[in-house]
Amino acid sequence: MIRVFKAAHVFDGWALHRNAAVSVTANGEIAALHLEGGIPPGGAEVTDFGAGILAPGFVDLQVNGGDGVMVGPDTDTAQLARICAAHMRLGATAILPTLISDTPETTRRVIEAGIAAARQNLPGFAGLHLEGPHLDPARKGAHDPAFLRPMTESDLDLLCAAAQKLPALLVTLAPESATLDQIAALSRAGVIVSLGHSDCSAEQARAAHAAGARCVTHLYNAMGALANRSPGLVGAALTTPFVAGIIADGVHVAPECLQVALAMKSADTLFLVSDAMAVAGSSADQFTLNGRRILRRQNRLTLEDGTLAGADISLPQSVRHLVGLGVDTTRALAMASRIPADIIHAQDRGRMTPGARADFVVLTPDLELTATCRSGALASE
């Protein structure tokens, strides 16, 4: 039987529609978007969310952990399922579990777990993000410097092979730690190459873009500052057609810098990431990362020396933060849904179009998350 979901506003991935509805097939796909109060005739079960906003489920391309666990040496499909379920409750119906720089053995294990998760069609699993270990030690952030190293041919072979077996594979690397030929080979193999944790020059970043790099990881963070004669990765990200993730938590990026990025980047080239850690979806006040204690204090996650170590925010909260700074609601919602879905070539996510997955979030008029739907069913059902 067709199910229908209606609300005062429905966001289709591009625009907000007043008094609209979405019909969903029995197999959990969107049948149609119905504008201006239109409801398909005949026996549909209607769920009315009243004054709320119905939007596509959010897509988070940088999720290091959740519900008390981190992606790491112990990762298996059960842990990936736990992380995906935690973020489903937080409004992200599709995520890329993200491995922070680790050993070759751990990297291989996480890839194997991801491939198994893909074969099982694990709910919420959209691929993997490997953030490192091919980063610049000068911009290590919370990454353990003992794990950072240049890319080898063995690494390249592993990543290229993994890209053929995963729904999506995003790899963050520094141009200083990979050659242009390696970046080109990754891109040809289907890897989404993202630049980050780097002190590279703007020229190096543009050369990496020409070789196939398409993304920048958590813009402004773990990279050299924009300077008058040394624009660096920030300057290249703002003036080159990279897509860039950004953490909108009021901690990682100052409001003025957010406004600069929003003004400089075209509407479809800036997207939100949570950079969530193990404490996401839990009340824990600390956890460990590669044997180091991470503290959760005043909406911050830090090493004991104060170094930021991921973020303590969900994508709905990030959307609210942007709108509070004056960003148009449609742009903020797109940055959490359609745009990241497009980056990983998941055209069945992040939008309300026929044939797309019926994964939704329900928000109050002031953008508080109230419900999540997966395949046309409320998470509580």
- Within 10 angstroms of residue 327's Cβ, the number of other Cβ atoms is 18
Tokens, residue 134: 């091919």
360 contacts 70 by C-beta, under 8 angstroms? no
Per-residue pLDDT of the chain (381 residues; tens, 9 = 90+): 788 999 999 999 999 999 999 999 989 999 999 987 666 666 678 889 999 999 999 999 999 999 999 999 999 999 999 999 999 999 999 999 999 999 999 999 999 999 999 999 999 999 999 999 999 999 999 899 999 999 999 999 999 999 999 999 999 999 999 999 999 999 999 999 999 999 999 999 999 999 999 999 999 999 999 999 999 999 999 999 999 999 999 999 999 999 999 999 998 999 999 999 888 888 788 788 778 888 888 888 888 888 887 888 999 999 999 999 999 999 999 999 999 999 999 999 999 999 999 999 999 999 999 999 999 888 755
Which of 211, 238, 213 shows the shortest CA–CA distance to 225? 238
Which of 30, 57, 69, 229 shows the shortest CA–CA distance to 126? 57
Domains 3-55+352-378 and 58-343 share a fold: no
**275 in catalytic set:** yes
* Active-site position among 275, 312, 342, 359: 275
Tokens, residue 125: 């699993």
Which of 376, 378, 374, 381 shows the shortest CA–CA distance to 126? 374
Question: pTM of the entire structure?
Answer: 0.95
62 contacts 275 by C-beta, under 8 angstroms? yes
pLDDT at 106: 97
Domain spans in the chain, listed from the N-terminal domain onward: 3-55+352-378, 58-343
Tokens, residue 290: 């590669």
Pick the CATH number of 3-55+352-378 from 1.10.3720.10, 3.40.50.300, 2.30.40.10, 3.30.1330.60: 2.30.40.10
CA distance 100 to 148: 10
Cα angle 147-150-151, degrees, rounded to a multiple of 5: 105
The CATH number of the domain covering residues in 58-343: 3.20.20.140
Cα angle 350-354-355, degrees, rounded to a multiple of 5: 75
CA distance 350 to 150: 35
